[in-house]
Amino acid sequence: YLKISKLALAFAIIHSKPPGKSSKEYTEHLAKTVSEQDFGWKWKVEVLEAEVLRLRQELLLNRICPRFSLENHTSAETLLDRESVNSTSYSSQLEDSGCDVSNDSAFDSLGIASDFHQYEHNANTSKGWLERVPPLNLCHTGKEQFLTAPVQFLQHLLEIRKLSEGGVLQADFSELENDSFTISNSVSRLLDGLTFFYNSPKFPVSNLLTEAVCVLISLLTDTKLSNHVLKKCFKKLEEFKKNLIQIILRNSSVNRFQALHSVSQTLVLLGRNNILRNSLISLLLPEVRQFAEQLLQAHQVQSAYDITQYENIFPLFMILEQLLQNETEKSSISSSDYEGEEKIKFLKNLDQIILHLSDEFPLFSLYLWRVSVLLNSAQMQ
């Protein structure tokens, strides 16, 4: 039936093609027209789904705390304008190869950790930093709008939580159980937006991205809200961490080092959560071990190796070190979640690999040894 349908379509295109145009050119024209129509419908569906989610977000907030209302000082448009103003300065920082940065503040400005601490300070000293979620502006066609909406909703949730703890508001968070779709879908859209921003060279690290990361980390570190998020969005968070790791490993841009630093800082901040830290370590260990084996094999047969991948593996080392150092400092937290097959594979014959690579790759061998020491230290703790 499929073959007959294709043949009928081919005859129809041949008979209906305009004069002066070949069948191939006319077929390509028809295919382009249909694909553009499909894209238009898909975009309309995305916009309508985003509007439905926004309405559900407002409804859920009213159910949790009907009296919650803060003065609307800024809006999504303000946030987007602030991002567009600052994007030029960030882009100018990324024009350089990143090998020689004379101004340290330029590099620090791309780090999420310092911004997160400032974000925490602002949240603790001000009760008016959160605004009502503005209606979705359908004129915005970029990914920014779909990232701003979940950010503002989750900011609302965090502010209600903070004010309810202080006795300022009475909130019923049991409504999160009754409407788990809204919060899980909001977090899912937030993670998709973050992945898009990190993965696209058109969007260097901006205020919007920094704020989104800060909101996500605050949500995961909140003792009450994190349970709802982890219960419904754990698989999505695991996928998000895997995507960030692959962004680090596969990035071959000359101007990648500052961007990779910000991705690494995001992974470290995700490791603040005990559950996510253990699973993140389990994801990082096999990547480092696999590359070590590939590097040893290339060294033994005297073949070439990918220098870009060699450079990109060091951010993973640094992430592992910070996570494992936090693990050993908090001895009350068990590392049993990653002491199974992944840890055994990583440590198996590791001393021999380090011994063979130490002369040719001393820095890599040193980092490999330091990770093994931290792993053993966590086990002893």
Question: Treating both helix axes as pointing N-terminal to C-terminal, what angle do 112-125 and 257-270 enclose, rounded to 10 degrees?
Answer: 50
124 pLDDT exceeds 70? no
**pLDDT score of 33:** 86
Look at 37-41, 132-136, 147-151 and tell me which has the smallest mean pLDDT.
132-136
Query: Averaged over 9-15, what is the pLDDT?
Result: 91
pTM: 0.72
Residue 274 pLDDT greater than 70, yes or no: yes
Structure tokens at 260: 């990779």
Report the residue count for the chain. Answer: 381
The pLDDT score that the predictor gives to residue 135 is: 39
> To the nearest whole number, what is the mean pLDDT of the chain?
78
Domain residue spans of the chain: 179-272, 274-328+340-380
Q: d(Cα 317, Cα 195) in Å, to the nearest integer?
A: 21
Confidence of residue 71 (pLDDT cuts 50, 70, 90): very low
The two structure tokens encoding residue 7: 């043949």
Supply the DSSP symbol for 69: -
Model pLDDT for residues 191-248, shown as the tens digit of each residue: 998 998 888 755 455 678 888 889 999 999 888 888 888 888 999 999 999 999 999 9
Q: Residues near 10 by Cβ (< 8 Å), separated by ≥ 6? A: 23
Residue 128 has pLDDT above 50, yes or no: no
Q: What's the average model confidence in pLDDT over 335-359?
A: 81
Q: Out of 11-15, 58-62, 127-131, 161-165, which region has the weakest mean confidence (pLDDT)?
A: 127-131
Residue 139 has pLDDT above 70, yes or no: no
User: What pLDDT digit, counting tens, does each position of 287-320 carry?
Assistant: 999 999 999 999 999 888 889 999 999 999 999 9
Rounded Cα distance, 349 and 214, in Å: 40
Angle between helices 180-199 and 207-221 (to 10 degrees): 140
Coarse DSSP helix, strand, coil percentages of the chain, rounded to the nearest 5 percent: 75, 0, 25
* Chain segment 314-335, per-residue pLDDT in tens: 999 999 999 998 866 665 444 4
pLDDT band at 171 (very low <50, low <70, confident <90, very high): confident
